[in-house]
């Protein structure tokens, strides 16, 4: 006889209810054990991800054409892996963890891919608290292809109220210098050319978010914003702003704005 069933027969109804409600009872979480960045479950997910990466690299060398389609399917397969193995609760645990890794420069690394997946999943689920918690600690710049963080969050955040304000909320709570810089840079890119000023990043971000609150009634996210990362020799990529800070205040006219109204 199943040990859990036997124990339930020997215990009072009140204790049985408690055991089913408690995470330490016989019913295990459908996704497995507790998860952290160095937990066995996370290491297994990383191993499975690496297997997908290796297969894609091997197959990409044999592709005659249509590499973009194959790459997009590969990204979807990685997302499916993560979504299958990690619940919404797991993602919030990872976001809150003190072991969360720095944002790597290598955008093909496991840590970068996982961080961007977490942004996508939390935006799509509309979990504002966990999304802010994540971005308070770590803010990857590019989320999917040419979609930078300041575009991805408002463009896909239909389940979030005023999603662009998430960046301001995360900036206000963040105490990590690298993350604060990434969030401020995202706000400066997104609100460039709108006449918003600030003596420092904090003042700029505050002024940008107040400007949005005042003007949001007639603003829409410009889907062409992604062209800044793909056309004009990538003149307005994340890197170009870092190399030419003047673009934040005086971007050339060829740049696509984040908002139209």
Separation of alpha carbons 47 and 242, rounded Å: 34
Separation of alpha carbons 160 and 168, rounded Å: 14
Predicted confidence (pLDDT) per residue in 32-49, tens digit: 678 999 999 999 999 999
State the pLDDT at residue 61: 66
Separation of alpha carbons 71 and 50, rounded Å: 15
The structure's pTM equals 0.85
Please tell me which residue, 167 or 19, carries the higher pLDDT value: 167
State the pLDDT at residue 11: 38
Q: CB atoms < 10 A from the CB of 187, how many?
A: 28
Could you tell me where the beta strands, DSSP code E, fall in the chain?
A: 142-144, 147-148, 220-221, 259-260
Q: Is 9 exposed, middle or buried (0-12, 13-18, 19+ CB in 10 A)?
A: exposed
- Beta carbons of 81 and 45 less than 8 angstroms apart: yes
State the pLDDT at residue 165: 98
Tell me: pLDDT of 222 over 90.
yes
Which residue's entry shows tokens 């999304």? 131
State the pLDDT at residue 68: 83
Q: Which residues of 27-63 are buried (b: 16+ CB within 10 A; e: fewer)?
A: eeeeebeebbbebebbeebeeebeeebeebeeeeeee
For the chain, give the percent of residues with pLDDT over 70.
Answer: 85
Average pLDDT over residues 60-82: 84
Q: CB atoms < 10 A from the CB of 223, how many?
A: 11
State the pLDDT at residue 204: 97
Predicted confidence (pLDDT) per residue in 94-151, tens digit: 999 999 999 999 999 999 999 999 999 999 999 999 999 999 999 999 999 999 999 9
């Amino acid at each position: 006889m199943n040990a859990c069933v036997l124990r339930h027969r020997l215990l009072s109804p009140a204790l049985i209810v408690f055991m089913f409600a408690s995470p330490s009872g016989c019913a295990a979480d459908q996704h497995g054990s507790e998860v952290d960045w160095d937990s066995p479950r996370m290491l297994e997910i990383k191993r499975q991800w690496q297997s997908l990466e290796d297969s894609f690299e091997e197959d990409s060398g044999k592709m005659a054409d249509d590499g973009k389609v194959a790459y997009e399917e590969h990204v979807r397969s990685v997302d499916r892996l993560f979504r299958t193995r990690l619940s919404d609760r797991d993602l919030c645990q990872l976001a809150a963890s003190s072991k969360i890794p720095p944002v790597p420069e290598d955008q093909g690394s496991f840590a970068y891919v996982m961080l961007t997946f977490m942004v996508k999943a939390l935006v799509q689920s509309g979990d504002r608290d966990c999304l802010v918690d994540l971005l308070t600690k770590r803010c990857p710049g590019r989320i999917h292809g040419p979609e930078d963080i300041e575009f991805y969050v408002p463009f896909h955040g239909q389940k979030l109220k005023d999603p662009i304000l998430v960046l301001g909320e995360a900036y206000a709570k963040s105490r990590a210098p690298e993350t604060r810089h990434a969030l401020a840079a995202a706000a400066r890119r997104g609100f460039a050319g709108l006449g918003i000023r600030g003596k420092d990043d904090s003042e700029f971000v505050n002024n940008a978010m107040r400007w949005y609150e005042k003007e949001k009634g007639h603003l829409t996210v410009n889907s062409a914003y992604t062209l800044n990362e793909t056309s004009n020799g990538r003149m307005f990529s994340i890197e170009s702003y870092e190399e030419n800070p003047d673009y934040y205040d005086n971007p050339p006219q060829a740049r696509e704005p984040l908002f139209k109204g």
